[in-house]
């Protein structure tokens, strides 16, 4: 089995995704976000949801799963599923680049990795900076948006990661019922 490249659990936190312990606290007025890129858009999720950011490693594919489930990886002896957020949002699949990362998030007691095009930075924004998603936004992940943040020259889409991955859970459960 030595022909396989070992999965690399080494945290890639040396990049901009570095999250010092002390800053994880969020105050009432402000919230800390991890922002990442997906296609042309930039998204943000609450830092408290993010466990770590790792490099894309060897993923073991799993049958009987929707296409956006890329498979399983071994994260320090824990087997976690990997969701390709591009496919989840219906974006075309792209070959991984040097920037591609797996964000390991904790959702409802489960640990799940999501593949994103790049992790950009950790930023703190005031809650008043968040505006509700305009009703005109339709399509991809519309229902998983919690708000928009207007930064200097870019727009950050806040993602309801719980909702996103739980939805996926339930849909899969339906599928499972059919199968079993």
Q: Exposure of 177 by Cβ count < 10 A (0-12 exposed, 13-18 middle, 19+ buried)? A: exposed
- Of 21, 67, 98, 152, the residue at the interface with another protein (CB under 8 A) is 67
Asked if 61 touches another protein (CB under 8 A), the answer is: yes
- Of 31, 88, 117, 160, the residue at the interface with another protein (CB under 8 A) is 88
Half-sphere exposure of 147 (CA within 13 A, CB side): 15
Asked if 111 touches another protein (CB under 8 A), the answer is: yes
The number of beta carbons lying within 10 Å of the beta carbon of residue 149 is 20
Number of chain positions touching another protein (CB under 8 A)? 43
Integer Cα distance of 55 and 11 in angstroms: 7
Asked if 92 touches another protein (CB under 8 A), the answer is: no
Integer Cα distance of 34 and 140 in angstroms: 20
Nearer to another protein, 11 or 74 (CB): 74
Q: Catalog residues that contact another protein under the rule CB under 8 A.
A: 1-4, 6-7, 9, 58, 60-74, 77-81, 88, 110-112, 168-169, 171-176, 178-180
């Amino acid at each position: 089995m030595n022909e396989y490249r070992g999965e690399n659990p080494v945290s890639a936190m040396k990049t901009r995704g570095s999250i010092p312990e002390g800053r994880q606290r969020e105050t009432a007025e402000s919230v800390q976000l991890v922002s990442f890129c997906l296609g042309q858009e930039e998204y943000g999720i609450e830092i408290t949801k993010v466990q770590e950011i790792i490099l894309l490693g060897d993923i073991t594919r799993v049958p009987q799963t929707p296409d956006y489930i890329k498979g399983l990886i071994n994260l320090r002896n824990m087997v976690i599923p990997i969701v390709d957020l591009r496919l989840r949002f219906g974006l075309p699949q792209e070959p991984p680049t040097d920037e591609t990362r797996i964000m390991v998030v904790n959702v409802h007691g489960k640990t799940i990795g999501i593949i994103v095009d790049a992790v950009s930075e950790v930023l703190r924004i005031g809650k008043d900076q968040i505006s509700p998603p305009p009703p005109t936004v339709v399509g991809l992940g519309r229902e998983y948006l919690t708000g928009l943040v207007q930064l200097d020259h870019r727009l950050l889409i806040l993602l309801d990661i719980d909702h996103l991955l739980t939805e996926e859970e339930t849909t899969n459960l339906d599928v499972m019922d059919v199968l079993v």
